[in-house]
Amino acid sequence: MVTVCCIGVGRWGQNIARVLATLRDKGEIDELIICDKNLKRAKFIAEKYGIEKVYDDIDKLIKIEDIDAFTIAVPTKYHYEVAMKLVHYGDLFIEKPIASNVKEAREIINACRSENRILMIGHIVRYEPATRYLLYELLPKLRSEGDEVVHISAERVGPGPFNPTYTLNLGVSHDLLVHDIDIANAIVNELPCEVRAIARYKEGFPYEVDIMALFKYPSGVVASLHASWLVSTTLKRRNIVIQMQNRFISLDSILQKVYIERGLVRHSADEGFIGILAAYQSKEITEHSLLAGPTNEPLLIEMNHFIDCIKRRKNPITNGVVGYIALKCIESALRSAVEKRSLEIEWDEDFIDKSVY
């Protein structure tokens, strides 16, 4: 028997409830429970997805129910408080970022270790079809042929919080940039050693709304990552470009497409404008479209992985350490922006296995 409880069914948490209800209907989990301080919303979501048990108080919930795992989709500011309360009662899935700061993240990780709990962080981009193809099929193949990553650039742009003066989810770095630093780390398979960042703020808002961060890795690879909320409600971009020695790889997270550009058919500096233009138009570009229906929904794959990790007691792909690393990178970038200088990033935590990077 596997019983899962969704803590928080707001804007994103209701999607988690929807997907877990699907897994329940498929027999992957036995019972699904909802807990949200907004009881009216909780009951609405429960009725929508056929969930019988609904709570609006965590303390009451854990006194009555025997739960195997919790998904935590509350505002970032409350991740630590909720996780530290629930770690004594079941395995944890925490939406990204793992916590508001690395001190809280470290305590969550240590608590889960002490209680022998599965800890998974919701870095959902890792579970997108295009990202999985890039990380686990394309890059290993190209590396086996002798090609190597030289540079990474990413742009993650979209509208920010609806409230122009207040948010419990911190700034654009914790909201958007955290995704691309995690993907960059996975691409390079190293921990960054240096960062230089520039951030932009908006009057009346306590956190950064735009940031450009350059992360340098021990191998010399540099990742140039940009995240911004300074756009209209209709403008959104999720792109990653990888420069390799022999090709460019572009990933569009919105369209779930990967483009491989192998370069020019010919290159000459003395052909004149028309000749050069023709040469540049003769690039060989291969397109891989990875939209494959509802079974490839990233959140479904992510939740399936969490349930599998619970049952088999295995370490998730996006475990607590992965979440901690991404958060520490974000904090380092923000500190660099405030201090207006490059900062070294030191990795001396005992729970980080550097041999895997």
* 10-residue mean pLDDT series, the chain (357 residues): 95 97 97 97 97 97 97 97 98 98 98 98 97 96 97 96 82 97 97 98 93 98 98 93 96 94 65 60 70 82 98 97 98 98 96 77
DSSP assignment letter at 193? -
CA 42 to chain centre: 26
* Rounded-to-integer distance, Cα 87 and Cα 72, Å: 11
* Rounded-to-integer distance, Cα 27 and Cα 311, Å: 13
* Rounded-to-integer distance, Cα 323 and Cα 349, Å: 14
* Rounded-to-integer distance, Cα 22 and Cα 25, Å: 5
DSSP assignment letter at 13? H
Cross-strand pairs, 154: 225, 240
Predicted pLDDT of residue 274: 62
| Count of CA atoms in the C-beta half-sphere (13 A) of 222 | 7
* Rounded-to-integer distance, Cα 45 and Cα 154, Å: 35
8 A C-beta contact, residue 207 and residue 172: yes
Neighbours of 218 (CB within 10 A): 12
